[in-house]
């Protein structure tokens, strides 16, 4: 999948970030990729996935796991 320019910028950003974007723009995709890369580089670290409802957090967690699984 080809990332948009703003998604590439998110992946290149170090530290905190705030993404203001409409629905269905690929925020979950890029954040799950970023979290997956971080998890693979830092196996002893914890990553928190927080959402307004548990279902959203679980969906993002599944995307992170899918990214890691497909990367290896």
pLDDT, tens digit, for every residue of 2-50?
A: 899 999 999 999 989 898 989 999 999 999 999 999 999 999 999 999 9
For residue 56, the enclosing domain spans 25-72
Please check whether residue 71 lies inside any domain of the structure: yes
Please check whether residue 52 lies inside any domain of the structure: yes
User: How many domains are contained in the chain?
Assistant: 1
pTM comes to 0.83
Residue 5 to residue 27: CA distance in whole angstroms: 13
Please check whether residue 66 lies inside any domain of the structure: yes
Tokens 């548990």 locate to 54
C-alpha count within 13 angstroms, C-beta hemisphere, residue 63:
17
Please check whether residue 55 lies inside any domain of the structure: yes
Please check whether residue 40 lies inside any domain of the structure: yes
């Amino acid at each position: 999948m080809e990332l948009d320019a703003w998604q590439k910028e998110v992946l290149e950003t170090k530290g905190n970030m705030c993404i203001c974007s409409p629905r269905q723009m690929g925020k979950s995709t890029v954040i799950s990729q970023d979290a997956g890369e971080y998890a693979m580089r830092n196996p002893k670290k914890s990553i928190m996935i927080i959402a307004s409802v548990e279902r959203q957090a679980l969906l993002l967690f599944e995307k992170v796991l899918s990214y890691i699984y497909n990367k290896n």
